Amino acid sequence: MPERYYEQKHFIEDISLYFEQMGIPRMAGRILGVLLIANPPEQSIDDLCERLQASKSAISTNARLLSEMGLIERVPSPKPRRIYFRFIPGGWVTFMRMYLRMMASLHQIAERGLELLKDEDPALRERLQEAHDMFSLIEDELPALLKRIEEQRGISR
């Protein structure tokens, strides 16, 4: 095998390990890794099965997860009865917006916790106060950054 093949395989595994650390199945990370470097960008389920040595059900289940996360999309097939996927232009921004919504929910929970501890020693409240302050800053700053990225890259939502 050429060296490039092993470099690509290593890249795909790095993506899969990163996503696994986030609680996302490793196979989903592998699919994403392939789609990030694939040429052509559109890959069929059969192509993904062959490349990743995985079953159609594993590819299809994890492709559905990535699609729900806003990272990949199903695209029209140039061949009859074949399913193709590609990384969505702007997928990273969509992914970050999903995490922003999750952080907003955690921010609300932290606020409830602070309310529960309002009459307690400030040192006891510090753990929740730190979370509250961090999530407040992220909610205030990240949307503008994501909008700027969309504008710079010509991504429409």
User: Over the stretch 116-141, which tens digit does the pLDDT of each residue have?
Assistant: 999 999 999 999 999 999 999 999 99
Tokens at 90, concatenated: 């702007």
Inter-residue contact 78 to 120 (CB < 8 Å):
no
What is the per-residue pLDDT for 57? 97
- Let me know whether 30 and 83 are in one domain: yes
What is the per-residue pLDDT for 157? 66
Residue length of the chain = 157
On average, the pLDDT of the chain sits at 94
CA separation for the pair 137, 26 (Å, rounded): 31
- Let me know whether 22 and 77 are in one domain: yes
What is the per-residue pLDDT for 81? 82
- Let me know whether 32 and 66 are in one domain: yes
Helix residue spans in the chain (DSSP H): 3-21, 26-37, 45-52, 56-68, 91-116, 122-153
Strands 84-87 and 72-75: antiparallel
Strands 72-75 and 43-44: unpaired
CATH number of the domain within which 70 lies = 1.10.10.10
User: Over the stretch 8-49, which tens digit does the pLDDT of each residue have?
Assistant: 999 999 999 999 999 999 999 999 999 999 999 999 999 999
The model carries a pTM of: 0.84
Crossing angle (nearest 10°) for helices 56-68 and 45-52: 110
Which residue, 5, 3, 13, 51, is CA-closest to 33? 13
CATH number of the domain within which 122 lies = 1.10.287.160
